A and B are shown apart, each in its own frame.
Chain A
Amino acid sequence: MEATEIKYQKYLPKDYKSENAVRWCPGCGDYAILTCLHKAMAELNLEPHQTAVISGIGCSSRLPYYMNTYGFHSIHGRAAAIATGVKVANPDLSVWVATGDGDSLAIGGNHFIHAVRRNVDINVILFNNKIYGLTKGQYSPTSARGFVSKSSPYGTVEDPFRPAELTFGARGTFFARAIDVDMKNQVDVMVEAARHKGTAVIEVLQNCVIFNDGIHNKISDRTWKADNTVVLKHGEKMIFGKDSEKGLVLDGWNLKAVTIGEEGYTLDDVLVHDAAAKDSTLQLKLALMDTGDGLPVALGVIRNVDAPSYDGDYQQQIKEVQQKSPKKSFTEFLLSSSNVWEVK
């Protein structure tokens, strides 16, 4: 990502916009995500022809049509596997995946966890609206227990996946969270995700205005947002609240939200975020914070750890083998193999 160090902007957000008319429902959170992606790509100065956006099926997965890059709208759940093929085939490409909670955590769960485990250098934007929108309103694998939907008229009797927990369980090296309407933080995490070598998972809490309107209100609504969320920044104190008066501290093994200056807590007690810590214990606790437990929902880059990428190591292995054995044509290879005899 050397290009990002250059000061001038070669590309503007509009350069990443395709000619296709955008066809999401009016008011859908996806519009904001699309705009943020255009902005992030411009900030990264990505060459549009060196960029590929891969998606599965669902509302989120229509995104590639609206990008003036190479794009592939594939089949349900398989975007991570297709993106793996794209990236390994051509590691020079900047590869993005647009997917949803149904696409990646239900039908495509297997590909999602294995892409994360392999640490393929792709950027996964996970649109989490906790509902199946394109099929008109069934509960999804991130819907809360008891959630009433068309396919769960009496409420679900199953616990949801928490994307962060799943990512960490699959040994993920990068996890960030953003709210669709919070453009600033969203662009920031997309840029950081692109700079990360390996699978970067960005969970975007996205509103489905038709089938699940207001599902993220507790954290996205301006009235409560400052008190109910904390934007984590590597190396900075975990401070939140309207007047930045609150902070997160450790209370035994657990996190606790406190008001600075009260109960004897000072600014010194507030934790400093370490996204680069290899041990994910605290990062997981941060990622799982919930307003129901009196804790703010964590936004920003929660985990960002250096590790070898699958495509990088694959390429390296090829290089090493080729250095050891001189390049041969296919016919030369056969002639030099064992069990060769000549009929004269």
Chain B
Amino acid sequence: MPTNSVITDIQQVTIRFSGDSGDGMQLSGTLFSTLSAIFGNEIATFPDFPAEIRAPQGSLHGVSGFQVRIGAKDVYNSGDKTDVLVAMNPAALKMNAQFLKRESIVLYDTDSFQKKDLDKALYATQDPFAELKLEHVQPVGVSITSLTKASLEGSGLENKDMLRCKNMFALGIVCWLFNRPLEIADMLLQQKFAKKPLLVQANIKAMSDGYNYGNNIHLTASTYRIEPIEGSKGFYTDVNGNTATAYGLIAAAEKAGLQLFLGSYPITPATDILQELSKRKDFGVKALQMEDEIAGITSSIGASFAGCLAATSTSGPGLALKTEALGLAVMTELPLVVIDVQRSGPSTGMPTKSEQTDLNQALYGRNGESPLVVMAAASPTDCFESAFEASKIALEHMTPVVLLTDGYIANGSSAWRIPDMKDYPEIKPPYVEKYYKGDPEGWRPYVRDEESLVRYWGVPGTPGFMHRIGGLEKDKLTGVISSNPENHQYMVDTRRKKIEKIADFIPEQKVVGDKDADTLIVGWGGTYGHLLEAMLRIQTTGRKVAFAHFRHISPLPKNTHDLLKKYKRVIVAEQNDGQFAAYLTGRFEDLGNIRRFNRVEGQPFKVSELVEEFTKMMEAK
């Protein structure tokens, strides 16, 4: 343990590891956040990386960052600004200068802050801190590159491989600074490089030498301690949103007693879902990498027809390509889960940056009147709950469900209490042979349950229920193709009502905050953590405020209208140009209290900005 005389207890800290996209910053950040979670802190992470795999070394657009916020409690998001920046080169310092708090510690590698490095990052002077007007920060220069080389002298590694361990030396210093137990990091590294013992040894050596270096020379005046939380009992792991989404599907398939099928095509930032499910052949998951986005969804529709829990995973541009097939799933009333991990658009946009701009596409992006279920996940761990519930709704109501997540929660991770699946509800698809009570001879594919308006599922392979379905309008009774005008009106109405009725099966919308507030903050999707913290901070100023965060968007929870009407002002905050606000005012025409807060920068909300802007809105007449 450190021999520093001063250890300061703190509640929370935000750290950003930043360097070239080949510097291993994502790994340092992931290790630090995981070991902090295991240590017992709350964590929220934000990997912020460029779309380019390896941009030119030392260049500004090659900077890759990993931000992690850890705390004893109340870590709702990855933090606005950083207390500690690890800058492996001058480009990293320049790109992150705007995110630094006053008095931030900037740990930088003096070996890579030489003239040629400064030139690559387009500095005009030889003093980067002054040039960036960073007189208010505490620079801590360490010759990380040479110390790493010295540390690994005689390790048997080649020079190039030794240099790749400098991220571990830096991590070691950060671990010392925050009094992290290195044993956990050792264990994680052993798992990470299980098949490469030489690399395990080298990484552990570099890390512990970094730790000892900080300790021996008393690199900073104080180190910091964040006490572990007294969390609720149970087993925990850390999980990012994409993995949690994949897990939610697996859990739902297990509950329903069905095979899980995923048809997909690689696309940032959704690819991890395909990759995770491809690994899960132990659960019999069939995850197919198809030839394009359209084949991703259509193979899933085929699998759904054939009786699987079928899903497809994509991002905005992919959802655009899946549009026509999604309409087919609406028309044929087959269960299907479509996961859209939203990213910046339009077109290719900013693939690695996050926003909430696909809501309209999910709600309306099809020809014809084609209602379906739209849901949104609020956090990395909520991706699990949302994917499970999306699957349940799809299977029990025979409908496609679009589940919106986003790049921020998909890549971000937090600690997750491992669920006991006994606590989750049953999933009962409406199998025709089990639930249809009439005469089998009289059954037709669009005969519906009277209450839910759900048609029965006749899965190929079931004797006696052979039938044909398709994209053409069909007669409401016989299921035979029909272009009768009254019949079409009836079917349009019925498809809409079927979705509306799902509101009877989902929970009412909850509100947190002050009961007597006259302002309600409304959000949906991955902005949950930022909006919650903003509300809490506004409360500390003595103002009354409440917050409602929507998971269910179509249909909306039954109490939505009554709830929104109660408030003097409803601030709908979203990372788009006001899509949810427009949806709400379109649905409830008598609402005159909707205010909008919109940011579309490809970056998470900043809580400080939310507090400021919401307060202004609350003070306005």
Interaction A to B: yes
Chain A residues, Cβ within 8 Å of B470: 64-65, 71-74
Would you call A281 an interface residue if the criterion is a C-beta within 8 Å of the partner chain's C-beta atoms? no
Within residues 468 to 499 of chain B, which ones have a CB less than 8 A from any CB in chain A?
468-472, 480-481
Given contacts A71-B468, A81-B299, A86-B460, contact A343 B233 (CB under 8 A): yes
Known A-B contacts A48-B466, A72-B470; the reply to A83 vs B302 at CB < 8 A is: yes
Inter-subunit contact B302/A329 (CB<8 Å): no
Judge whether A52 and B306 touch: CB under 8 Å.
yes
Kindly identify which residue among B284, B299, B461, B468 contacts A93, using a CB–CB cutoff of 8 Å.
B461
Do residues A343 and B236 form an inter-chain contact, with CB atoms below 8 A?
A: yes
A67 at interface (Cβ–Cβ under 8 A)? yes
Give chain A nearest CB distance to B248 CB in angstroms: 10
| Contact status B302-A82, CB under 8 Å | yes
* Complex Cα spacing A208 to B286, Å: 40
The stretch that binds B, out of A29-37, A129-137, A287-295, A333-341, is: A333-341
Known: A88-B286, A335-B418, A339-B38. A74 touches B298 (CB 8 A): yes
Cα distance, A78 to B353, chains bound together (Å): 32
Question: Which chain B residues lie closer than 8 Å to A49 at the CB level?
Answer: 460-466
Query: Is A78 a contact of B306 with CB atoms below 8 Å?
Result: no
Closest to B419 in A: A331
Give every chain B residue within 8 A of A341 (Cβ-Cβ).
37-38, 235-237
Closest approach, in angstroms, between the C-beta of B446 and any C-beta of chain A?
Answer: 14
Q: Is B4 an interface residue (CB 8 A)?
A: no
Contact of B302 among A65, A67, A81, A339 (CB under 8 A): A81
Shortest Cβ distance from residue B204 to the other chain A in the assembled complex, whole angstroms: 17
Q: Is the CB of B324 within 8 A of A75?
A: yes
Does A157 make an interface contact (CB < 8 A)? no
Which chain B residue shows the least CB distance to A327? B282
Residue of A nearest to B422 (CB): A331
Q: In the complex the two chains form, what is the Cα distance from A83 to B481 in whole Å?
A: 22
Contact flags B295-338 to A (C-beta < 8 A → 1, else 0): 10011111111111010000000000000110110001000000
> Which residues of the partner chain B approach A72 to less than 8 Å between Cβ atoms?
302, 305, 332, 468-470
Give CA–CA (A110, B37) in the complex, Å.
Answer: 46
Do A70 and B471 form a contact, CB below 8 Å, given A81-B302, A331-B421? no
Instruction: Knowing A110-B292, A110-B295, A338-B191, say if A75 contacts B328 (CB, 8 Å).
Output: yes
- CA separation between A339 and B418, bound complex, in Å? 11
Closest to A337 in B: B237
B600 CB to nearest A CB, Å: 33
Do A85 and B263 have beta carbons less than 8 Å apart? Answer: yes
Residue A84 interfacial (CB < 8 Å): yes
A244 within 8 A of B: no
Knowing A72-B468, A314-B286, the reply to whether A86 touches B237 (Cβ < 8 A) is no
Minimum CB–CB distance for B297 against chain A, Å: 9
- Chain A residues positioned under 8 Å from B619 (CB to CB): none
Q: Contacts of B421 on A, CB cut-off 8 Å?
A: 329-331
- Docked complex Cα distance between A321 and B278 (Å): 12
CB neighbours (8 Å) of A218 from chain B are none
> How long is the Cα–Cα vector from A339 to B43 in the complex, in angstroms?
14
Q: How far is the CA of A306 from the CA of B231 in the complex (A)?
A: 59
B302 / chain A contacts, CB cutoff of 8 Å: 54, 72, 81-87, 89
Write out, one digit per residue, whether chain B residues 229-261 have a CB within 8 A of any chain A CB (1) or not (0).
Answer: 001111111100000000100110010000101
CB-CB under 8 A from A90, the residues of chain B are 306-307, 460-461
Q: How far is the CA of A329 from the CA of B282 in the complex (A)?
A: 10
Instruction: Give how many A-B residue pairs fall within 8 Å (CB-CB).
Output: 197
* Contact bitstring B268-284, A, C-beta under 8 A = 1, else 0: 00000000000001111
Residues of A within 8 A of B233 (CB): 343-344
Q: Quick check: B465 and A93 within 8 Å, CB to CB? A: no
Contacts of B251 in A (CB 8 A): 330
Query: Assuming A75-B324, A78-B298, A110-B292, is B234 touching A343 (CB within 8 A)?
Result: yes
User: Does A322 belong to the interface (CB within 8 Å)?
Assistant: yes
A89–B480 Cα distance when bound, in Å, is 26
Interface residue A317 (Cβ < 8 Å from any Cβ of B): yes
Give the docked Cα–Cα distance between A314 and B247 (Å): 21
Q: Of B251, B281, B463, which is in contact with the most chain A CB atoms at under 10 Å from its CB?
A: B281
Nearest chain B CB to A337 CB, angstrom units: 6
In this assembly, does B34 line the interface, its C-beta being within 8 Å of a C-beta of chain A? yes
Interface SS majority for chain B: mixed
The reply to whether the CB of A68 lies closer than 8 angstroms to some CB of chain B is yes
Which residues of chain A are near B254, meaning CB under 8 Å? 329-330
Q: A251 contacts the other chain (Cβ, under 8 Å)?
A: no
Report the nearest A residue to B279, measured CB to CB: A321
A315 to chain B, nearest CB (A): 9
In the complex, the answer to whether B468 meets A340 with C-beta atoms within 8 Å is no
CB of A336 to closest CB in B, whole Å: 10
Residue from B284, B304, B466 having most chain A Cβ neighbours under 10 A: B466
CB distance from B233 to the nearest CB of A (A): 6
**Cα separation A78 to B300 with both chains bound (whole Å):** 12
Determine if B290 is an interface residue (Cβ-Cβ < 8 Å): yes
Q: Within B450-469, which residues are at the interface with A (CB < 8 Å)?
A: 458, 460-469
Instruction: Tell me, rounded to whole Å, the shortest Cβ–Cβ distance linking B329 to chain A.
Output: 10
Is A78's CB under 8 angstroms from B282's CB? no
Residue A7, interface by CB 8 Å? no
Cβ of A114 within 8 Å of any chain B Cβ, yes or no, is yes
Please tell me if B439 contacts chain A, counting CB pairs below 8 Å.
no
A283 within 8 A of B: no
- State whether the Cβ of B609 lies closer than 8 Å to any Cβ in chain A: no
Q: Which residue of A lies closest to B458 (CB)?
A: A70
Chain A residues within 8 Å of B562, by CB: none
Give A12-31 interface residues, CB cut-off 8 Å to B: 18, 20
Q: Using A330-B247, A342-B234, A343-B231 as known contacts, say yes or no to A82 and B467 having CB atoms under 8 A apart.
A: no
List of B residues within 8 angstroms of A262 by Cβ: none
Q: Is A254 an interface residue (CB 8 A)?
A: no
Report the minimal beta-carbon distance from B309 to chain A, rounded to whole angstroms: 10
Bound CA span A153–B236, Å: 70
Decide if B420 is an interface residue (CB 8 Å cutoff). yes
Q: Counting CB contacts under 8 A, is B429 at the interface? A: no
Residue B291 contacts which of A110, A314, A330, A333 (CB distance < 8 angstroms)? Answer: A110
Given the known A-B contacts A68-B466, A74-B328, A330-B250, are A340 and B286 also in contact in the complex, defined by CB atoms under 8 Å?
Answer: no
Distance of A134 from chain B, by nearest CB (Å): 12
B-facing residues in A78-102 (Cβ within 8 Å): 78, 81-90, 92-93
A111 contacts chain B at the CB level, 8 A cutoff: yes
A318 and B238 in contact (CB under 8 A), knowing A73-B470, A81-B302, A85-B299?
A: no
- State how many angstroms separate the Cβ of B393 from the closest Cβ of chain A: 19
Q: Contact at B301–A82, with CB atoms within 8 Å?
A: yes
Interface string of A101-128 (1 = CB under 8 A from B): 0000000001100100000000000000
Alpha-carbon distance A75/B301, docked complex (angstroms):
11
Instruction: Find the residue from A64, A71, A72, A340 having the highest chain B CB count within 10 A.
Output: A72
Q: Does A50 contact B (CB under 8 A)?
A: yes
Q: For the complex, give the distance between the alpha carbons of A69 and B263 in Å.
A: 25
Residues from chain B with a CB closer than 8 A to the CB of A329 are 254, 421
Q: A85 to B310, Cβ gap below 8 A?
A: yes
Give A237 to B460 CA distance when docked, in angstroms. Answer: 42
**B190 to chain A: closest residue by CB:** A338
Q: Give CA–CA (A48, B465) in the complex, Å.
A: 10
Task: Report B246 CB to chain A, min CB distance, Å.
Answer: 11
Indicate whether A89 sits within 8 Å of B38 (C-beta atoms), given known contacts A72-B468, A78-B325, A111-B295: no
Query: Chain A residues with Cβ under 8 A from B310's Cβ?
Result: 85, 89
Determine if B40 is an interface residue (Cβ-Cβ < 8 Å): yes
Q: Contacts A49-B460, A89-B261, A329-B254 known; A73 to B472 CB distance under 8 Å?
A: yes
Within the complex, what minimum Cβ distance (angstroms) separates A334 from chain B?
A: 5
Residues on the B chain within 8 Å of A335, using CB: 235, 418
Q: A93-B306, A334-B419, A343-B234 are in contact. List 6 more A-B contacts (CB 8 A).
A: A49-B460, A64-B470, A68-B466, A70-B460, A330-B251, A340-B418
Show 9 A/B contacts (Cβ-Cβ < 8 Å), sorted by A: A72-B302, A74-B301, A93-B306, A321-B282, A325-B282, A329-B254, A330-B254, A334-B235, A341-B38
Closest 7 CB pairs of A and B: A85-B302, A73-B470, A85-B299, A71-B468, A82-B302, A89-B306, A89-B303
